[in-house]
Amino acid sequence: MTETQPVRFQRANFVVEDIDKALTLYRDVLGFEVTFRKGHNPESYSIPVFEIPDGAELDFVILSLPGQPRVMALSGIKNVPLAPVPHPRRSAIVLDVADPDKAMADSAALGLKVYEEGRLETHDGRIGREIGIVDFDDNLIVIYRIADAL
């Protein structure tokens, strides 16, 4: 008999206006693969929990990485303008990226904000690089690379 874990992390989810535009970052730059896509569902649980107003049309994708199935989702909301995300930002995803220089350059080429690189020191003393990237909808992605992993 398998023991059930009390909590298992399933995925992160960002709300975006245009999933196809968002995929130019998440798929084309960061390497996520579209695992599942579903168009508008007026009965979606996302409508009440994200407090999506009437008249919005939903789009939804689940994204995977090699060996990491269904770790990210994008919920697209069309026909209703998204209000700017208040600062300070309240959430981010953090990704270990094999080639941060390419991810930074490709993100900048899309016109996205790429923060100046910072020095990362982990809880166990390893040293690396960390860079913030803001997607088209003001969601924060922090990419990093530990020097030992190079």
Residues 61 and 118 in one domain: no
Residues 17 and 50 in one domain: yes
Give me the domain span that covers residue 57.
Answer: 11-79
pLDDT over 90 (residue 8)? no
Give the model's confidence band at 150: pLDDT under 50 very low, under 70 low, under 90 confident, else very high. Answer: very low
What's the mean pLDDT in 129-137?
97
* % of residues, the chain, pLDDT over 70: 97
Residues 29, 139 contacting (CB under 8 angstroms): no
Give the model's confidence band at 147: pLDDT under 50 very low, under 70 low, under 90 confident, else very high. Answer: confident
What's the mean pLDDT in 55-78?
96
Nearest to 111 by CA among 80, 134, 88, 140: 134
Residues 133 and 94 in one domain: yes
Q: Is 81 exposed, middle or buried (0-12, 13-18, 19+ CB in 10 A)?
A: exposed
Give how many domains the chain has, as a whole number: 2
Q: Say if 65 falls within a structural domain.
A: yes
Query: Which residue, chain included where needed, has tokens 């996205």?
Result: 112
Residues 100 and 130 in one domain: yes
Residues 35 and 71 in one domain: yes
Output the pLDDT for position 1: 62
pTM of the model: 0.91
Output the pLDDT for position 149: 52
Residues 67 and 94 in one domain: no
d(CA 94, CA 110): 20
- Residue that terminates a domain, selected from 79, 103, 129: 79
Residues 70 and 105 in one domain: no
